[in-house]
């Protein structure tokens, strides 16, 4: 991923240096196991650990000749560690190293993404409680529906990210497997106990059955979860973009002192962070389909998945990490305009209370279809003539004969819509 949308911690995980370091950890762990079970002479693991250094340039130089990354890596280590290093990788296939190491990189990345999500949850909880009773209009199809609170919007996002956290934890658990089973997964040339040892050493689980590779449904699950999380990021970003529109302007992204919104129009304050997050979310979701297509490989293995994973492994994780970090800051610093929310609530002259009027009429004995038609006709007139709906309702004798004026006044009040806010918040923010 380009540096503009990258953070150092994730970049480090997906660096060549870290990748080869993990490869070395796998090889050393396997050598330790082989020594323990008297498959190779003692001292191999210790001398490799002592002398084997990661020399990226040298590995690349060797690979340019042998056209095989794992052989190039092993050759580089052998050059440094000496004759005893010839026992490295005994009975193993390249994928034993590659797949186990790739899974470890995904685990390392996933744990940072969990931290990112925890930060978002913390900010959302703080903001939701702050605006628990801040009235605003709820919209369906982009049209004013009924009153809600801004805190409820944020609580909805909070609950979604709780689910995202659980999904990612499950995906990390699912990907935490190790395969050291040889060329086609039969352990023909390697003792199964080596795999058990390596798995325990690296805090993984042995893959119950592999071919030459760890089955790619595990990886598809992981990247699919990243795609879902990206969708949640875009959901929030889209909401912020809408609410910052000039016609709405219920909130605004933080705008720093020297920030410029437009090269042409000095007045502009654009929702650039939310728009950026929308784009980054699209990128992350774009990596889901290739991961799904990686599931179906030829027989026990081909390498069609390799080029895919070399791209989507770093890019999906790095991009999502950046997006989550940016979203947390955006939510923490956004500026809320409660007065504008109230103003927008009243734009429709009371149309948002139409359902309650209809319900009360049916409770008073009127047939639902008739009640619906009467309220709808008054709503149309209210909108067309810019008249308060309550004034039209109070002039209609078919209504006032069933409901006194005080009862109508009660209907045109926000309080009813907020009576269960505490109930909802207890369900969402329960410990």
Question: What are the tokens at 266?
Answer: 């000095």
Tell whether 229 is covered by a domain. yes
121 CA to centre of own chain: 12
* Residues of the chain by 3-state class (helix, strand, coil), percent to 5: 65, 5, 30
Same domain, 359 and 285: no
Q: Using the 3D structure, point to which of 79, 110, 128 is the last residue of a domain.
A: 79
* C-alpha dihedral, 267 to 271 to 275 to 281, nearest 10°: 160
Q: Give me the number of domains the chain comprises.
A: 3
Tell whether 417 is covered by a domain. no
Q: Please give the Cα distance from 139 to 247 (Å, whole number).
A: 14
Tell whether 426 is covered by a domain. no
Q: Please give the Cα distance from 253 to 330 (Å, whole number).
A: 7
Q: What contacts 261, CB < 8 A, 6 or more positions away? A: 255, 267, 268, 269, 270, 272
Same domain, 283 and 372: no
Question: What are the tokens at 172?
Answer: 């990390």
Residue-level pLDDT at 431: 67
Q: Using the 3D structure, point to which of 342, 365, 399 is the last residue of a domain.
A: 342
Q: Please give the Cα distance from 353 to 412 (Å, whole number).
A: 6
Same domain, 193 and 337: yes
Same domain, 252 and 375: no
Residue-level pLDDT at 266: 75
Distances (CA, A) of 5 to 227, 239, 262, 275, 317: 17, 22, 21, 14, 11
The answer to whether residues 18 and 105 touch, using CB atoms and an 8 Å cutoff, is: yes
Radius of gyration of the chain (CA): 30
Tell whether 206 is covered by a domain. yes
* Other CB atoms within 10 A of residue 167 CB: 19
What is the residue-level pLDDT of the chain in tens, covering all 431 positions? Answer: 789 999 999 999 999 999 999 999 999 999 999 999 999 999 999 999 999 999 999 999 999 999 999 999 999 999 999 988 899 999 999 999 999 999 999 999 999 999 999 999 999 999 999 999 999 999 999 999 999 999 999 999 999 999 999 999 999 999 999 999 999 999 999 999 999 999 999 999 999 999 999 999 999 999 999 999 999 999 999 999 999 999 999 999 988 777 777 677 777 788 889 999 999 999 999 999 999 999 999 999 999 999 999 999 999 999 999 999 999 999 999 999 999 999 999 999 999 999 999 999 999 998 999 999 999 999 999 999 999 999 999 999 999 999 888 899 999 988 889 999 999 999 999 86
Tell whether 47 is covered by a domain. yes
Same domain, 166 and 137: yes
Same domain, 241 and 370: no
Tell whether 193 is covered by a domain. yes
Whether 267 is catalytic: no
Whether 141 is catalytic: yes
Question: What are the tokens at 131?
Answer: 């605006």
Beta strands per DSSP E along 157-295:
177-178, 205-206, 251-252
Which residue, 402, 388, 395, 391, is CA-closest to 358? Answer: 402
3-class secondary structure, 252: strand
Same domain, 113 and 174: yes
The answer to whether residues 35 and 45 touch, using CB atoms and an 8 Å cutoff, is: yes
**Active-site residue among 262, 304, 364, 405?**
262
Same domain, 111 and 194: yes
Q: Using the 3D structure, point to which of 342, 371, 389 is the last residue of a domain.
A: 342
CATH number, residue 320 = 1.20.200.10
Residue-level pLDDT at 336: 97
Tell whether 291 is covered by a domain. yes
Tell whether 420 is covered by a domain. no
**Active-site residue among 3, 64, 141, 246?**
141
Q: Please give the Cα distance from 329 to 332 (Å, whole number).
A: 5
Q: Is the pTM of this model over 0.85?
A: yes
Same domain, 75 and 186: no
Q: Please give the Cα distance from 212 to 218 (Å, whole number).
A: 15
Same domain, 69 and 184: no
Look up tokens 């934890």; give the residue. 169
Which residue, 191, 183, 187, is CA-closest to 213? Answer: 183
87 CA to centre of own chain: 43
Residue-level pLDDT at 322: 98
CATH number, residue 21 = 1.10.275.10
Q: What contacts 204, CB < 8 A, 6 or more positions away? A: 100, 103, 104, 176, 177, 178, 198
Which residue, 177, 310, 287, 165, is CA-closest to 224? Answer: 287
Same domain, 338 and 362: no
Q: Please give the Cα distance from 311 to 417 (Å, whole number).
A: 49
Same domain, 396 and 252: no
365 backbone dihedrals φ, ψ, rounded to 5°: 115, -5
Question: What are the tokens at 65?
Answer: 């000749």
CATH number, residue 372 = 1.10.40.30
Query: For residue 176, what are the domain limits?
Result: 94-258+267-342
């Amino acid at each position: 991923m380009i540096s503009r949308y990258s953070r150092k911690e994730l970049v480090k995980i997906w660096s060549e240096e870290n990748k080869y370091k993990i490869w070395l950890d796998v090889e050393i762990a396997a050598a330790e196991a082989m020594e323990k079970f008297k498959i190779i002479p003692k001292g191999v693991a210790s001398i490799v650990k002592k002398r084997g250094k990661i020399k990226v340039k040298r590995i690349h130089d060797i690979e340019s000749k042998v056209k095989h990354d794992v052989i190039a890596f092993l050759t580089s280590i052998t050059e440094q560690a000496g004759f005893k290093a010839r026992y490295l990788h005994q009975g193993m296939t390249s994928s034993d190293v590659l797949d186990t190491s790739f899974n470890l990189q995904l685990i390392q990345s996933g744990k940072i993404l969990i931290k990112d999500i925890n930060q978002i949850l913390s900010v959302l909880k703080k903001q939701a409680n702050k605006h628990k009773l801040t009235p605003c209009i709820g919209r369906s199809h982009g049209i004013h529906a009924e009153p809600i609170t801004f805190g409820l919007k944020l609580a909805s996002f909070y609950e979604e990210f709780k689910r995202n956290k659980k999904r990612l934890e499950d995906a990390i658990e699912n990907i935490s497997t190790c395969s050291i089973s040889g060329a086609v997964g039969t352990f023909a040339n390697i003792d199964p106990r080596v795999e058990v040892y390596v798995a325990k050493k690296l805090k993984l689980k042995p893959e119950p059955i592999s071919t030459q590779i760890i089955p790619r449904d595990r990886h598809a699950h992981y990247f699919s979860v990243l795609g879902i999380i990206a969708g949640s990021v875009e959901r929030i970003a889209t909401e912020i973009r809408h609410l910052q529109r000039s016609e709405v302007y219920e909130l605004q992204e933080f705008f720093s002192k020297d920030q410029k919104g437009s090269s042409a129009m000095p007045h502009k304050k654009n929702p650039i962070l939310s728009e950026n997050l929308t784009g980054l979310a699209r990128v992350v979701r774009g990596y889901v389909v290739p991961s799904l297509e990686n599931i179906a490989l030829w027989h026990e293995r081909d390498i069609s998945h390799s080029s895919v994973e070399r791209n989507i492994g770093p890019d999906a994780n790095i991009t999502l990490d950046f997006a989550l970090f940016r979203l947390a800051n955006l939510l923490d610093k956004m500026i809320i305009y409660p007065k504008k929310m109230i103003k927008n609530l009243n734009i429709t002259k009371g149309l948002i209370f139409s359902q309650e009027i209809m319900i009360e009429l049916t409770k008073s004995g009127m047939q639902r279809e008739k009640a619906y038609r009467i309220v709808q006709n008054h709503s149309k007139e209210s909108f067309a003539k810019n008249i308060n709906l309550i004034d039209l309702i109070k002039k209609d004798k078919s209504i006032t004969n069933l409901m006194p004026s005080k009862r109508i006044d009660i209907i045109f009040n926000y309080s009813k819509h907020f009576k269960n806010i505490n109930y909802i918040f207890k369900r969402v923010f329960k410990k």
